[in-house]
A and B are shown apart, each in its own frame.
Chain A
Amino acid sequence: MVAALRRRATPIWRVVALPLLAIVLALAIAALIIVVSSAFTGIGFFPLLPLFAYGNLFAGAFGGLTAINNTLVAAAPLMLGGLAVGLGFKGGLFNIGVAGQFLAGAFTAAVVGAALADAPTAIGMTAALGAGALAGAALGFIPGFLKARTGAHEVVTTIMLNNATALLLAWAVGDLVRAEGFTFPRTGEIGNAGLPVLLGRNLHLGVPLAFAAIFVVRWLLERTTLGFEIRTVGANPNAARYAGMPPVVIVPLTMALSGLLGGTAGAVQMLGVIGFYASGISASVGFDSIAVALLGRSHPIGILFAALLFGAFRAGAPLMQITTQVPIEIIDIIQALIILFLAADLIVRRVFRLRARALEIEGATTVTRTWGEQVRT
């Protein structure tokens, strides 16, 4: 099949080939791991176990309306986070700070939501979402500004800001905005500020919002002058300066927009799923977002599908664990393998005998390319 596809190589196939084959290869190797590890569990050595595990994974993600809802709800913050990372890649920036921006967005949305818990939803929810988005934007702006003014690399500053943010928020929730009447430090109930459920038990307004964001970002990047500036600075900062686009403005702006999306991801997750902020809430969305952006090759539509896939993994994993005793952690292994194969794309090319031409990933090269490069003011 692969050979047949290769012969009729169309441009779209060329774009999606590498990510698809990376997924296939990751599933194959994870299957091997499942088989081998089955020998050491209660089940005993069982070569067909991967088939059952993957079957249940699929059923848990797409078998019925509830399953599909779960997948979409899990995918929504990944779409927003993936867009955050992807937008950065387009602008030549590697925003590893989505984890921190996610937390900032979640925290701010929780605090504002709790304050407006009794206000009408239209006001409380909108204010909480907006505040979360702006908190993310502010947090994204800092490394962008530092890069433009001093050349400090955003990979370093965003990673450090992740820690700073998590600790600062842990203090804030324990001291500053701790709600009365709970045994552990957390924010108050968000009440009416929560995202309304549109369908089934849990499909909230954040899901259509995330879908909308995909198309807004695509429009921004491809159809607006700002998007053209972001892409030009990303592709060739010298040419951007020459053409009169000041990187010293565009870089902080790109990072702020990226942070805005990361913050929105946090706010959506907070207002649609979690409901209150407590120290130690998972920021794994932030790191999964990098994987989503890489798998989606930084393209909004690619990010949409990548987020749906990762969302499906998350949504389907519990059923897989319950029925086949294959632990949920296998999902992390699959995700890690996908990224490994995307980064080390030579392996995939060898295995499937793909030609090297035009199969590069945009994001992976950004990391090394921008390292040590300074934006001149």
Chain B
Amino acid sequence: MTDRAPALEMRGITKRFPGILANDHIDLEVRPGEIHALLGENGAGKTTLMNILYGLVAPDEGEIHIDGEPVVIRDPADAIARGIGMVHQHFMLVPVFTVTENVMLGSEVMRGPVLLDLAEAGRRIRALSDQLGFSIDPDVRVEQLSVGQQQRVEIVKALYRRARILVLDEPTAVLTPQETEEIFVVLRRLRDEGASVVFISHKLDEVVRIADRITVIRRGRVVGERAPRETSEQELADLMVGREVLLRVDRGVSRPGEVVLEIRGLRARDDRGHEAVRGVDLDVRGGEIVGVAGVAGNGQEELVEAIVGLRKPSGGRVALSGADITGASPRRVRERGVGYVPADRQRFGLVLGFPLDDNFALTGYHRPPFARGIVRVDAAIRAHAERLMAEYDVRAPGPSVRASTLSGGNQQKVVVAREFGDDRLLILDQPTRGLDVGSTEFIHRRSIEQRDAGTAVLLFSADLDEVLELSDRIVVIHRGRIVGEFDAATAERERIGLLMARGEAA
């Protein structure tokens, strides 16, 4: 295997952006029939490197070889012609087009000069997807597909263009654990058929499981290359972050106090009017973290929204330290002492076009010290932002840059810094989704500090490991009901997993 020329070789790739060195003489070698993981924190330079490979960014220095031959890639068309396929983190699909139309877009099969040969294209797509072991109906519209299926359409799209080097940028970030397993099967099959896969990720466990070799990047440089057999998650984490990382924060002992959040028989409907929360009873005490485990879409979103006032409950009661807040407005719920880190920071937690200081004051803008009467106090808003940026290590040039310019991890820190305070109740919805280990460790540590200060913490996470790691008590939600409760000390992963999947421990 090793005597063949590498499928892809990038040598001395350097790219400077104003103020930063995004890639600093990066060497990367990917062999034919190999899954090669590119591991690094958010902002380490992984995506820049792949954008150079795909012709989206021109390197300042360095060269690219494909099958041993030096090539120059000016634009994505060049890259595609060289057999490079890219699956972006955010899919590039037209929702109202069918699978066939999406796949052939840009390389249409024609029947005569004006007519598309959709039937022929559909046949090729069916053959390709059968070969990979998944079935996609070429005639179905993309908007009707799940996220996991859409990703497969992207893969088919790349292979349809005869890609032999497939780059996937954070492919599992949007997938459920089940879908992740399925995509791994597909990638392994691709590899076995001789293709090369570049798998960009910052998730250690996945990288160790799927990759044949791992290249670790930190701050634009290659800091190590390992085979999964000869390394550990701990070593990879340390390499990636550049210091020793605690993969598991020390939770310590919880000292639960009074009941802060009391939910009784809560019911709520989803946007389509179906009952998504069907009678939930739940208590959270001060000084404890209660984790809600469940497969996404089992009513978690509606439950959170019903608690914080973003959704009107259709029945039941929510009380905060004895005071009824059922159906109260988001503003009133906040004023009663609830902090809330929403699942989707870009949709709910931030206004991306606003500067950071406005985002730090997004939920408290109407109160002193940020406002005197109806007039905003810029000095206080700015000082507050500067203090939180320092305290939470938000990496940005200053409080006046737009939130959209920050990396995902730093954006999340802005939300977390704003919501973590002296509240009675803190609701964390997917607090570390998409974050690298460094940021995750930081947010976990802060969450435990909040708990130790006496705050009641309610944690929702699609990542069962996160729930197990942080929670003092774990409840399992299934089809809008709480179907089990565990003490963290005695919780068994398998039993929780079964309850999540089936709603009963068979």
* A residues in contact (CB < 8 Å) with B: 223-226, 228, 231-232, 235-236, 238-239, 241-246
Contact = CB atoms under 8 A, between A and B. Distances in A.
B276 to A, nearest CB: 16
A232 B342 CA distance: 17
Given A228-B358, A244-B330, A239 B350 contact: yes
Nearest to B377: A223
Nearest to A232: B351
A232 B366 CA distance: 13
Contact of B348 (A223, A231, A238, A245): A238
A241 B354 contact: no
B348 A239 contact: yes
B374 A224 contact: yes
Contacts of A232: 351, 354, 362
B330 A224 contact: no
B392 interface: no
A242 B371 CA distance: 19
Contacts of B350: 236, 239
Interface in B357-386: 358, 362-363, 365-366, 371, 374-376, 378
Given A232-B354, A239-B349, A242-B310, 9 more contacts: A223-B376, A224-B376, A225-B366, A225-B371, A228-B376, A241-B348, A242-B348, A243-B365, A246-B331
A241 B366 contact: no
Chain A interface main SS type? helix
A246 B353 CA distance: 20
Contacts of B358: 228
B366 A242 contact: no
Nearest to A226: B374
Nearest to A244: B331
Contacts of B374: 224-226
A249 B362 CA distance: 18
B50 interface: no
B365 A242 contact: no
A231 B365 CA distance: 13
Interface in B279-315: 310
A370 to B, nearest CB: 15
Contacts of B375: 223-225
B352 interface: yes
A19 B381 CA distance: 32
Contacts of A239: 347-351, 362
A242 B310 CA distance: 7
B89 interface: no
Which of A225, A238, A239 has the most chain B CB within a 10 Å cutoff? A239
A232 B347 CA distance: 12
Contacts of A246: 329, 331
Interface of B: 310, 329-331, 334, 340, 342, 347-354, 358, 362-363, 365-366, 371, 374-376, 378
Nearest to B350: A239
B342 to A, nearest CB: 6
18 contacts: A223-B378, A224-B374, A228-B376, A231-B354, A232-B351, A235-B351, A236-B350, A236-B353, A238-B348, A239-B348, A239-B349, A241-B310, A242-B310, A242-B340, A242-B349, A243-B363, A243-B365, A246-B329
Counting from the closest, the 9 A-B pairs by CB-CB distance are A244-B331, A242-B348, A244-B330, A236-B351, A243-B363, A235-B351, A243-B362, A224-B374, A225-B366
A200 to B, nearest CB: 38
Contacts of A225: 365-366, 371, 374-376
Nearest to B352: A236
A244 B329 contact: yes
Given A224-B375, A244-B329, A235 B354 contact: yes
Contacts of B354: 231-232, 235
A241 B333 CA distance: 12
B365 A235 contact: no
A238 B366 CA distance: 18
A317 to B, nearest CB: 38
Contacts of B362: 232, 239, 243
A231 B351 CA distance: 10
A239 B354 CA distance: 12
B40 to A, nearest CB: 26
B402 to A, nearest CB: 10
Contacts of B342: 242
A238 B348 CA distance: 5
Nearest to A236: B351
Contact of A244 (B334, B352, B376, B378): B334
Contact of A235 (B331, B353, B363): B353
Contacts of B366: 225
Nearest to B358: A228
A293 to B, nearest CB: 18
A235 B352 CA distance: 8
Contacts of B371: 225
Nearest to A245: B331
B414 to A, nearest CB: 12
B330 A243 contact: yes
A63 B320 CA distance: 70
A367 B127 CA distance: 43
Nearest to B361: A228
A232 B353 CA distance: 9
A244 B328 CA distance: 11
Contacts of A241: 310, 330, 348
A334 B347 CA distance: 40
Nearest to B359: A239
A228 B330 CA distance: 17
A231 B375 CA distance: 15
A228 B366 CA distance: 9
Nearest to B363: A243
B39 to A, nearest CB: 30
Contacts of A245: 331
Which of A226, A242, A246 has the most chain B CB within a 10 Å cutoff? A242
A218 to B, nearest CB: 13
B363 A244 contact: yes
A373 to B, nearest CB: 13
Nearest to B370: A225
Contacts of A228: 358, 365, 376
A32 to B, nearest CB: 35
A52 to B, nearest CB: 45
A337 B84 CA distance: 43
Contacts of B329: 244, 246
